[in-house]
Structure 1
Amino acid sequence: MHLIKSLGRGGAEKLIPETALVHDQSRFEFHCLYFFHQEQNIVDELESAGIQVHLIPSGNLGLFFQVQKVRKFIQDQKFDLIHAHLPWAGILARFVGRKLSIPIVYTEHNTWDRYNKVSFWGNRLTFKNQDVAVAVSNEVALSMQLNSIWDPYKRGGRLKVRVVQNGVNTETFIRFWKRDEQVALGSISKQREIARLREELGISKDSPVIGKVAVFRSQKRLWLWVDLAVRIVKEHPETHFLLVGDGEWRNRIEEQIAKSGFQANFHLVGVKKEVIPYLNLMDIYLSTSEFEGLPIAMLEAMACEVPVVATRAGGIGEVIQHGKQGFLTEVDEWEKLEGYVIRLIREKELHAEMAFEARKQVIENFSMKRMVSQLEEIYSQVLENAKIK
């Protein structure tokens, strides 16, 4: 059973159906239990992936009053394993598991210093009471270890930390059209869809498109993203900027764009269930994040042959080799991103080389098959250990 607070369109949430589609469903039956219902959710995607979805309505603090209900649900359904995602669900899973002999796997998607105090201490104080903690990047794993120095996370050999980096289904996320080479790679219907999107958005076929897929929250620093975009468009007026997603910062970002006077060059298309056509519109994936775990959207863009220009936030530096799949700067040196974007706009051969290397990196090191194989190994190990006990 996957346990998660809500089913919005964040990276952690989307991994649940994506992995289920690749898992061996003859060996594993998947359910998902969530608590906070949002209008824009991925319930239909989970069900399409063969996952049975359940809802127990609750807010953050209300989760602590759901322990008995969740425990009974697990007993009634006779689940063999809980896989919790993000701190609130992780804390709940550990309380639930105190009176149940059921293995608990927890995936940590971010470094601990980025959580608020309640999440941080709740996570830390209960952290020993699970079997495997999965870190999505080496930096996240290091964060676990550093924050556990005074309260060792390994007790009696039960808890182990494993790094399982996020993955992408490279058979689904592909490039359908290489504009510079005029080469058709996908079906005619997909090519027409991308051409239609360009026409709808008012982007000519020769205009470079700089993009990002994100939840509009402070960690993404989208105000810096827009600031960079304005500087770039002054140098290259034909350039367009595409943001896929939504969130609390949307109104402020729209106001910033309106004040810039370059509204025609910006396209905020909102949350999209199907992001592949929009990734196919992009020529460069630009990220100004202050911190990250290992961003799924960036990996998806790379699988679609989109080079990355980004701050070295979180696991991004574990994926991008500076000068090979894209360019990186330190988090506080974000202004340097402008020069790298302009260089990729101007140097077509370099762009083509990096586009090729971006997809190659995902295929070789960040595929969904690789990720799922590692998860299934963990599931099998904790289930076997549970039988021995």
Structure 2
Amino acid sequence: MDTTPIRVLQVLGGLEAGGAESFVMNLYRAIDKEKVQFDFVKHIEHKGVFEDEITQMGGKIYRCPKYTGKNHFAYCKWWDSFFKEHPEYHVIHSHVRSTASIYLEIAKKNGLVTIAHSHSTSNGSGISAIVKDMLQLPIRHTADYLFACSDKAGKWLYGEKATKQSNYRMIPNGVDLKRFAFCEEKRQQMRQELGIAKDTFVLGHIGRITVPKNHQFLVELFAEYHKENPNSKLLLVGDGELFETVQQQCTQLGISDVVIMVGSKTNTEDYYQAMDVFAFPSLWEGLGIVAIEAQANGLTCLVSENVPGEAILTENTKVLSIQSKGEWLDELKKVSVGERTQTKNNSIQQYDICTIADWLQQFYLEQHEKVRR
């Protein structure tokens, strides 16, 4: 009997600490790697924060060409050659929407079981968004299975009719609840490392510094709060194309000395410990895995109305309008330094990564057996 683990191909844009990437990595850490191994195809050239960990866990990383439209035939050729050179892959799990209909079609022709996974509810605006909208339309017909992190994300990408089909699954973005549990000792350690006094109020956010995460709103909100509450700091964990723009905004508002921007981190669980309130003013959101993590940590969470209802799990999570900064300020003023509400396990247990990993592991094994390549 062959005891070699099956290998599942995960397709992502890059391997930075974004929502989809974090979900796949949480899954990878929890899955039984003697039965299922993950390998990765990424579209971005530079090295991501998860790459060393992937290699240590036995995963392989491949880079495909970034799709430009002009290189359509070269892009298709790369994928076709890849599948012919790697007959070990029977299952492909796609987390990239824009070109999924292209490479999933090629994967099917090469005999793979194809899974599309929706992690968002918008492509933004402008010409690039229109192009992405058009490119992703065929996915609902191309993929064998349609996964989504929330029903809102599923309806957006596949259409409401498709979410009622037997090949549709809502897969919660699981987290390791024990890893994100509150720890007073770790809180003190992190505050010391970050140069934050015990009695300083910390507003925090973890996420890619990109348009949908709405950092501009968050920085303006903190600037207003800091005027009345000088013993306060803003902690931003994440990287992205708007990193320098946000830095400049902080300088213009005169708050650079009280804003801590630490870049992208793999140990995000440690940074929640240092916070008093987690703010999540997203313009759009597939689910919002960081909101789940923050709630697992027992933090008071202020989230925008654009965060799906599936992510609202605790009583100390407030849904607020990004049209009203006053609402956010009022809620911030209600929270004390060091305040934590013990998260009730039954409200958040559905997001336990171990349960989700067990289900997906069995699913991958079943799909692998169906294929004879």
TM-score by length of 2: 0.86
**Alignment match, 1:255:** 248
2:257 is the alignment partner of 1:264: yes
1:25 maps onto 2:10 in alignment:
no
CA distances 1:298-337 after superposition (whole Å, capped 9, x unpaired): 222222222211112232x322257x03211134345411
Q: In the alignment, does 2:320 pair up with 1:357?
A: no
Aligned match of 2:198: 205
1:309–1:105 distance in 2 versus 1, CA, 3 Å: same
Deviation at 1:381, TM superposition (A): 5.0
Say which of 298, 311, 327 aligns to 1:336: 327
Equivalent residue letter for 1:85:
H
Alignment CA distance shift 1:374-1:112 (3 Å): farther
1:224 is the counterpart of 2:217:
yes
Report % sequence identity: 20
Name the TM-score, length of structure 1 as normaliser.
0.83
In the alignment, structure 1 residue 106 sits paired with structure 2 residue 120: no
Deviations 1:162-203 (A, max 9, x none): 1111010123223221xxxxxx4xxxxxx4xx5454245332
Structure 1 segment 276-291 matched on structure 2, within 5 A = 276-291=269-284
CA distance in structure 2 between the aligned counterparts of 1:35 and 1:257, rounded to whole angstroms: 32
Q: Is residue 53 from structure 1 mapped to residue 61 from structure 2 by the alignment?
A: yes
Say whether 1:70 aligns with 2:55: no
> Of residues 172, 182, 194 in structure 2, which corresponds to 1:175?
182
Structure 1 residue 383: Cα displacement: 4.2
Q: Which amino acid aligns with 1:37?
A: E
Partner of 2:312: 320
Question: Aligned to 2:355, which of 352, 357, 370?
Answer: 370
8 Å contact kept, 1:19–1:372: yes
Provide structure 2 residue ranges, at least 5 long, that are not aligned to the other structure. Answer: 1-8
Contact 1:139–1:314 (8 Å) recurs in 2: no
Contact 2:122 2:284 in 1 (8 A): no
Q: For 1:46 and 1:300, locate their aligned partners in 2 and report how far apart those are by CA, in whole Å.
A: 21
Could you report, residue by residue, the CA deviation over 1:197-218 in whole angstroms, capped at 9, with x for unpaired residues?
Answer: 4245332111121100111111
Matched-pair contact (CA < 8 Å) for 1:109–1:135: yes
Between the aligned partners of 1:85 and 1:166, the Cα distance in structure 2 is 13
Of the three residues 294, 305, 311, the one matched with 2:304 is 311
Kindly indicate whether the alpha-carbon contact (under 8 Å) linking 1:321 and 1:327 is maintained by their aligned counterparts in 2.
no
Distance (whole Å) between structure 2 residues aligned to residue 31 and residue 208 of structure 1: 42
Q: CA deviation at 1:89?
A: 4.9
How far apart, CA to CA, are the structure 1 residues paired with 2:360 and 2:218? 35
Q: Partner letter of residue 95 of structure 1?
A: E
In structure 2, the CA distance between the partners of 1:377 and 1:313, relative to structure 1 (3 Å rule), is farther
Match of 1:5 among 13, 23, 47: 13
1-structure distance, mates of 2:260, 2:123: 33
Q: Does the 8 Å CA contact 1:31/1:52 hold for their aligned counterparts?
A: yes
Using the alignment, how far apart are the partners of 1:283 and 1:311 within structure 2?
18
1:305 and 1:204 map into 2 onto residues whose CA distance is: 20
Question: Which range moves more in the overlay, 166-175 or 206-215?
Answer: 166-175
What displacement does 1:98 show? Answer: 4.2
Which structure would you say has the larger RCO, counting Cα contacts within 8 Å and 6 or more residues apart? 2
Structure 1 counterpart of 2:145 = 132
Q: 70, 87, 90: which one pairs with 1:80?
A: 90
Q: Compared with structure 1, are the counterparts of its residues 64 and 338 closer, same or farther at alpha carbon in structure 2 (3 Å cutoff)?
A: farther
User: Compared with structure 1, are the counterparts of its residues 112 and 290 closer, same or farther at alpha carbon in structure 2 (3 Å cutoff)?
Assistant: closer
Amino acid at match of 2:168: V
Change (3 A) 1:113 1:34: closer
- In 2, Cα distance between equivalents of 1:56 and 1:125: 21
Aligned length: 360
- 5+ residue gaps, structure 1: 178-183, 185-190
Quote the Cα distance in structure 2 between the aligned partners of 1:73 and 1:36: 17
- Amino acid aligned to 2:74: F
